[in-house]
Amino acid sequence: MNGPLKNLLVLDLTRVLVGPYCTMILSDLGARVIKVEAPDTGDDSRKFGPFIDNQSAYFMSLNRGKESIALNLKKQEDKKIFEKILIKADILVENFKPGTLEKWGYGWNDVKKKNPKLIYASASGFGQTGPLKDLPAYDMVVQGMGGLMSVTGQPDSEPTRVGTSIGDITAGLFTAIGINAALYDRKKTGKGMFIDVSMLDCQIAILENAIARYLSKNEIPKPMGSRHPSIAPFEAFKTKDSYIIIAAGNDKLFNELCSALEIKDLVKDDRFMSNEKRCSNMNQLKIIFEDILVRKTTTEWIKELTPKKIPCGPINNIKEAVENDQVKARNMIVSAYHKGIGNFRLAGNPIKLSNYKDSISRGDIPDLDEHREKIIKEFI
Amino acid sequence: MNGPLKNLLVLDLTRVLVGPYCTMILSDLGARVIKVEAPDTGDDSRKFGPFIDNQSAYFMSLNRGKESIALNLKKQEDKKIFEKILIKADILVENFKPGTLEKWGYGWNDVKKKNPKLIYASASGFGQTGPLKDLPAYDMVVQGMGGLMSVTGQPDSEPTRVGTSIGDITAGLFTAIGINAALYDRKKTGKGMFIDVSMLDCQIAILENAIARYLSKNEIPKPMGSRHPSIAPFEAFKTKDSYIIIAAGNDKLFNELCSALEIKDLVKDDRFMSNEKRCSNMNQLKIIFEDILVRKTTTEWIKELTPKKIPCGPINNIKEAVENDQVKARNMIVSAYHKGIGNFRLAGNPIKLSNYKDSISRGDIPDLDEHREKIIKEFI
């Protein structure tokens, strides 16, 4: 891959999702990633489904284009190899429990003496400080603790998780921002730094409206189904055959929507004359809208409302989302190669940069320890 | 704010969430942000609730520490001011519909002639290319189109949105990564570049397991409540008083969990001997677990399981999440000042950098056009 991070070496000690997602982004931006895995087992996610011919598609989709070497960081022999790579690395990323790498002699304070230019990023469940720092965490735990699950779901439904591991993914994204900012900083100062990202912190950072509501009004927001708490109309409405999402975020769009639905008088209705009023009277607004929207199918409505520039759309399943012409036109489905399986498809990189070509493929999937010889030859 | 982006000038043409979230991160990393708002109305989100004394807490939480100037980019007089700032800016961020800034003479191709070092980032609903590029979008629309809503919710429940605007937020994060990577690139090449981020693309990029499932097996995943599709046990379980989240992501943790629940024999049960088997028999596993877990309260179980290093936790509401000691210890709730309201609290920055102090406060909230005089004095 070519990109802004070309010629940078990432020493990747990550497993499962938060760390591998971050180093995948670094790889997509052009960096070389050497993934250090535990001997015998490798990254836990090699055992996570879905599988193709016993290979984890989950692992493959996150680790394409990385090189793999299996090292036991408690063994002298392997430590030697590790340290040879370490002194040449630009970036180290890890998502062990805090203290793990210190125990092996590779905490930030040890490592910076050997490589003061190193950018050392740790992503963990709760961060490197604070009373909960030593606790293990997975996505689900921080989605629950961080409050996101308390505002996701139907009113009074059972607990609802965001259908993707947003606890890991957002922390992977924030870590990638930190690393890139530190790279810029290093160009100015010549020095590396330590980056400490906690998944729980990241959940707090994405609470948006919900946290504003609590911190400003002491309100405790609840799940609202598909509804936005501060903008109306902004939710899924029933149609003849399924649902349509309509998001009319300001007065102008609301007016145009009412015209399109041939209920222009609504604009002058005191209950709906501002976004604030519409929010207070969402239920009444929904009844009026659905009374009209159930008369046609979702596709019919989208055809009708789209030329009028009203933000609307269907609720796509994953197949529909992936096979969407826009997604294809944007090169958001790329391919990677695995020796046993051949080419397979995976999500692309949403950061499109004018100075670099957005590649239609990614590097191969590494077997555990596949690049040992090559790496040893190069670094020892 | 001090940070890696200190001394960089961001010309911020963004409104509502995706763009302001991105420039907020740049501000938290030390950049100076000049927010250009439409005269009279300003950023749409100044009208979004919740409100304190008629001020939008939503707007305030995203725009603290930015300077505001109201400019009509169709008027000659204001264009002059704008261009004076433009030639000195390092970064321009905008989230208009594609083509809007071109129309006013400020598309990337125009602007790069005036300022070739500029990094120009556009975040939009569907991106600058492709068949849907001209359509308007809000968070809800891309959450629906991008497939995330199809895997979020209870099985057969009504459509469920992620309780935070994850369509905007993830695009804001990817844009921030792109900008920081481009800053690093500029240090090497001396050149700026154009960054094109689409909210829909970002939804595809975070589909994780769901997209792997479809692309590898042609499966179309469905919402699964609080359950993870590829890891078990990894969901919310009923307790005596509410729910507990337990996330035992590998065999070792599963064994420890069974010991803790005093059902050690389960480890030898053929139905549960690997993560793959546990995934196939999740329902049976849940019945066995809940039969035990309903005997004690969530707090009791957390006290019991935590010392045994089993990843678990409560489903916190927003108040509980924000007031959590760990969140406080991590400085994830900071304060900002508004002339009319005084100090108020908001979410902090989850990127903790060893070379920069993590400030406990943020800059003041700008009124619309508040910094006009100061800015004109400085740039004209």
- Block residue for tokens 């469920």: B160
Given B17, B196, B215, which is nearest A346 (Cβ)?
Answer: B215
Given B166, B316, B346, which is nearest A144 (Cβ)?
Answer: B316
**Between vectors from CA A175 to CA A174 and to CA A181, what angle results, nearest 5°?**
90
Reduced to 3 states (helix: H, G, I; strand: E, B; else coil), residue B370 is: coil
Q: Which helix (H) or strand (E) holds A352?
A: strand A352-353
Q: Which of B161, B228, B238, B277 does the annotation list as catalytic?
A: B228
- Sorting pLDDT into bands at 50, 70 and 90, what band is A249? confident
Given B145, B253, B313, which is nearest A313 (Cβ)?
Answer: B145
From A271's Cα to the closest Cα of chain B, the distance in A is: 16
Contact A119, A192 (CB under 8 A): yes
* Tens of pLDDT, residues B271-282: 999 998 999 999
In the prediction, which pLDDT does B249 show? 81
| pTM exceeds 0.95 for this model | yes
In the prediction, which pLDDT does A92 show? 98
Give ranges for CATH 3.30.1540.10 in chain B.
Answer: 234-238+243-314
The two tokens of residue B360 are 């406990």
User: What's the mean per-residue pLDDT of chain B?
Assistant: 96
Reduced to 3 states (helix: H, G, I; strand: E, B; else coil), residue A56 is: strand
d(CA A207, CA A204): 6
Interface test with B, best of A122, A330, A349 (most B CBs within 10 A): A330
In the prediction, which pLDDT does A209 show? 93
Q: Is the pLDDT of residue B330 over 90?
A: yes
d(CA B32, CA B69): 14
Sorted by sequence, the CB contacts under 8 Å of residue B29 that are 6+ apart come out as: A177, A181, B1, B3, B4, B5, B180, B349, B351
A228 catalytic residue (yes or no): yes
- The beta strand positions in B215-323, using DSSP E, are 234-238, 243-247, 312-313
**Contact A205/B16, CB-based, under 8 Å?**
no
- Block residue for tokens 């922390």: A171
- Sorting pLDDT into bands at 50, 70 and 90, what band is B122? very high
* Tens of pLDDT, residues A199-217: 999 999 999 999 999 999 9
Given A142, A151, A158, which is nearest B164 (Cβ)?
Answer: A151
Kindly state the percentage of chain A with pLDDT values over 70: 100
Q: For residues A352-357, give the mean pLDDT.
A: 98
Give ranges for CATH 3.40.50.10540 in chain A.
Answer: 9-206+328-379
From B79's Cα to the closest Cα of chain A, the distance in A is: 25
**Contact A173/B171, CB-based, under 8 Å?**
no
Q: Which of A112, A213, A228, A277 does the annotation list as catalytic?
A: A228
From B178's Cα to the closest Cα of chain A, the distance in A is: 6
Q: For residues B15-32, give the mean pLDDT.
A: 98
Q: For residues A96-113, give the mean pLDDT.
A: 97
Q: Is the pLDDT of residue A327 over 90?
A: yes
**Contact A154/B154, CB-based, under 8 Å?**
yes
Kindly state the percentage of chain A with pLDDT values over 90: 96
* Tens of pLDDT, residues A136-190: 888 999 999 999 999 999 999 999 999 999 999 999 999 999 999 999 999 999 9
Q: For residues B90-94, give the mean pLDDT.
A: 98
Interface test with A, best of B21, B29, B201, B337 (most A CBs within 10 A): B201
- Sorting pLDDT into bands at 50, 70 and 90, what band is B287? very high
User: What's the mean per-residue pLDDT of chain A?
Assistant: 96
From A372's Cα to the closest Cα of chain B, the distance in A is: 26
Given B152, B174, B230, which is nearest A160 (Cβ)?
Answer: B152
**Contact B173/A174, CB-based, under 8 Å?**
yes
Chain A residue closest in CA terms to B224: A163
- Taking every pair of Cα atoms in chain A, the longest distance, rounded to a whole number of angstroms, is 79
- Block residue for tokens 């959940």: A203
The two tokens of residue A335 are 């391919």
**Contact B313/A176, CB-based, under 8 Å?**
no
In the prediction, which pLDDT does A1 show? 86
**Helix, strand, coil shares of chain B as percentages rounded to 5?**
45, 15, 40
- Sorting pLDDT into bands at 50, 70 and 90, what band is A246? very high
Superfamily of domain B9-206+328-379: Crotonobetainyl-coa:carnitine coa-transferase; domain 1 (3.40.50.10540)
- Sorting pLDDT into bands at 50, 70 and 90, what band is B230? confident
Q: For residues B217-245, give the mean pLDDT.
A: 95
From A73's Cα to the closest Cα of chain B, the distance in A is: 20
**Contact B316/A145, CB-based, under 8 Å?**
yes
**Contact B227/A145, CB-based, under 8 Å?**
no
Residues of chain B contacting A354 with CB distance shorter than 8 Å: 108, 193-196
Q: How far is CA B376 from CA A199, A272, B101, B379, in A?
A: 42, 39, 22, 5
**Contact B348/A4, CB-based, under 8 Å?**
no
d(CA B380, CA B376): 5
* Tens of pLDDT, residues B304-325: 999 999 999 999 999 999 999 9
**Contact A149/B226, CB-based, under 8 Å?**
yes
Reported residue count of chain B is 380
**Between vectors from CA A153 to CA A148 and to CA A157, what angle results, nearest 5°?**
125
Give the CATH class of A234-238+243-314: alpha beta
- Block residue for tokens 């008369």: A295
- The beta strand positions in chain B, using DSSP E, are 9-13, 32-37, 51-52, 55-56, 67-70, 91-94, 119-124, 194-198, 234-238, 243-247, 312-313, 333-338, 342-347, 352-353
In the prediction, which pLDDT does A295 show? 98
ipTM: 0.98
